[in-house]
Amino acid sequence: MAPLHRRQFLRGIGTVVALPFLESIVPTSVLRAAGSAAAPPLRSAFIYMPNGVNNDYWWPKGNDRNFTLASSMQPLEPYKLDIQIVAGLGHTKANPNGDGAGDHARASASFLTGAQAKKSANDLRLGQSIDQVIAAQHGAKYRLPSLELSCDPPRQVGNCDSGYGCAYSHNLSWRTENQPMPAERNPRLVFERMFGSGEIIETAESRAARARQRRSILDFVRDDARRLKAGLSRDDQGKLDEYLTSVREVELRVASFENFSARPDQSLPTGIPDNYDEHIRVMCDLLVLAFQTKSTPVATLLLAHEASGRTFPHLGITEGHHSLSHHEKRPEKLEQIRKIDTFYMEQLAYLIGKMKSIKEGDGTLLDHSLLVFGSGIRDGDRHDHVNLPVILAGKARGAINPGRFVDYSATPMSNLYLSMLDLYGIQAERLGDSSGRLRLV
């Protein structure tokens, strides 16, 4: 009798301790197949927290390389040299610009688009988001052109924000000016989307048969849609175009699925964890897995929708986040916001740590990635959109020098995006309200 050598295999990943599970179920063969040869590609993730921050405890003291982290960012202390704290970026298109109330809807809508949301409950118009620009250009080379994740609870009914459709405050990613990309919040479905499902695995033969069947269905319904479309008015045709575009993209996916035959032997047997922090961490694990396996060039993660009224009972916070964010400068409310900010920083620290722990080429996954964390509102009590709380993490393959506190003073956040597109080799003249490029440091 000898003791068990291997790490105990934990049941499910619904518990914090079980999180290393994800690594263990992806056989090294998959990880090997995904990488190695060429230089690792750039991968970026955009992570959104709603309702602004407590600015008194957010901004570091000092400047450039000589700074100390403020209280809310303490969880990032171990990663101080892996992050760049950015001041001075803003979104003017989140301002009313004559449209009155609705700063929350505009904050999340403009965050990745730099565009002014059309004020309407049903006539959505915004702009393409940066992740979708990247996906459109590079997505075809990956299992998934882009990955949209959310840790928000199921949608509540009711109107969202002062006459803006709910789509604006619940979707970061917009494929076109009027088509949001819905985010997935169920970890199991995210995993299945990347690697297929279940403890029952298709044989190569069955998989080929299913790909053939799917292709024949897609052919069939495309013809249907084209015929249907011919007799329709313009608005209706727009809806059918969405359908046809989706058919086309799923066809590419079916084809690429055959190419990406390497896949884990086992599936992820879990749904949505009950606890918020576990949910966030599982989603972070999946994000890391997607990047590690080079399954996607870009991802978005909505921690909670803009104006979310989430409570944080485990932090002793029972008032909704949004309501708290209207703190009226009251110390007890500001203190609770600081706690929430710190909580989100803990999650970010987890993600950074995880990416840093993964070796890739001659560095780490974090070295070849760029995380953009932020909120579209600076202070929830003022609903302002200048000098947004933004943190970059990772080296973006050497384009970013972390370990700094940088102030770009009154620059459109979209300029950052335009510079990021450069890093992806995408020639773009502008994105949203960009006025130029940001000189990345």
Partner 1 sequence: MRLFGLFLTLGLAGVTSAAIHQSWPDWWWRIQKPTPEALFVHRLQPFVEQTCYECHDSRMRKGDFAIDRLSDPASLQRDREAWERVLQHVSNNLMPPAGADQPAPEDRAKFVSALDRALHPIDPKRPDPGRVVIRRLNREEYKNSVQDLFGITFDPAADLPDDDSGHGFDHLGDVLSLSPLLLERYLAAAEKIAAELIPDPMPPPRIFVAMEGQWKGSQVGPSGRASEGMLTWKVTTPAEGSYKLKLRVYEDAAGPEETRFSFAIGKTQVAGLSAKGSRKAPREHSYDVDLPAGAVELQVTFLNDFYEKETATQPAQDRNFYVESVKLEGPYLRPGQKRPQGKLPAWLSQRRPEEAQEAWLARAFTLVMRRAFRRSPTSEEVTRLVTLMIHSQKAGDSVPASLQLGLQAILVSPDFLFRGEPPASPNSGERIVRLSDHALATRLAYFLWSGPPDDHLLSLADSGKLRDQLAAETRRMLADPRAARFVDNFAGQWLEVRNLPLRTPDRKLYPDWNKELALSMKEETLRFFADFLTNDRPMLDLLTADYTFLDARLAKFYGVKAPSESGFSRFTRPEGRRAGIFNQAGILAVSSYPNRTSPVLRGKFVLDKILGTPPPPPPPNVPSLTERADKKKPTTLRTRLETHRSQASCMSCHAMIDPIGFSLESYDAIGRYRETDDGQPIDSRGKLTTGEPVSSPEELGRVLATARREEFYKNFASTLLTYALGRGLDYYDRPTVEAIIRQAGAQGYTLPAFIDAVISSIAFQYQRNEAPTDAGSSHAAL
Contact set for partner 1, span 134-153 (CB under 8 A): 148, 153
Q: Is 122 exposed, middle or buried, given 0-12, 13-18 or 19+ CB atoms closer than 10 A?
A: exposed
Q: Is 384 near partner 1 (CB under 8 A)? A: no
* Cβ at position 141, least distance to partner 1 in Å: 16
Q: Is 241 near partner 1 (CB under 8 A)? A: yes
DSSP assigned state of 65 = T
Nearest to 169 by CA among 294, 48, 10: 48
Q: How far is CA 397 from CA 44, 47, 305, 307, in A?
A: 11, 19, 30, 35
Q: Is 253 near partner 1 (CB under 8 A)? A: yes
Structure-token pair, residue 180: 């949001």
Contacts of 13 by beta carbon, 8 Å cutoff, 6+ apart: 19, 21, 22, 187, 268, 270, 273, 282, 285
From residue 25 to residue 64, what is the string marking binding to partner 1 with x (rule CB under 8 A)? Answer: ----------------------------------------
Contacts of 146 by beta carbon, 8 Å cutoff, 6+ apart: 131, 132, 134, 135, 139, 173, 181, 296, 297, 298, 299, 300
Q: Which of residues 330-359 bind partner 1 (CB under 8 A)?
A: 330
Instruction: Find the part of the chain contacting partner 1 (CB under 8 A) among 5-13, 33-41, 405-413, 431-439.
Output: 5-13
Among 16, 232, 255, 410, binds partner 1 (CB under 8 A): 232
Q: Which of residues 302-331 bind partner 1 (CB under 8 A)?
A: 309-311, 313, 318-320, 323, 326, 328-330
Among 65, 141, 212, 439, binds partner 1 (CB under 8 A): 212
Contacts of 60 by beta carbon, 8 Å cutoff, 6+ apart: 67, 68, 69, 70, 73, 85, 405
Q: Is 236 near partner 1 (CB under 8 A)? A: yes
* Cβ at position 326, least distance to partner 1 in Å: 8
Q: Which of residues 74-113 bind partner 1 (CB under 8 A)?
A: 96-98, 100-102
Spatial separation of the C-alpha atoms in residues 336 and 348, rounded to whole Å = 19
Q: Is 259 near partner 1 (CB under 8 A)? A: no
Q: Which of residues 262-281 bind partner 1 (CB under 8 A)?
A: 265-266, 269
- Comparing CB distances to partner 1, the nearer of 171 and 411 is 171
- Comparing CB distances to partner 1, the nearer of 193 and 356 is 193
Instruction: Find the part of the chain contacting partner 1 (CB under 8 A) among 193-201, 281-289, 344-352, 370-378.
Output: 193-201
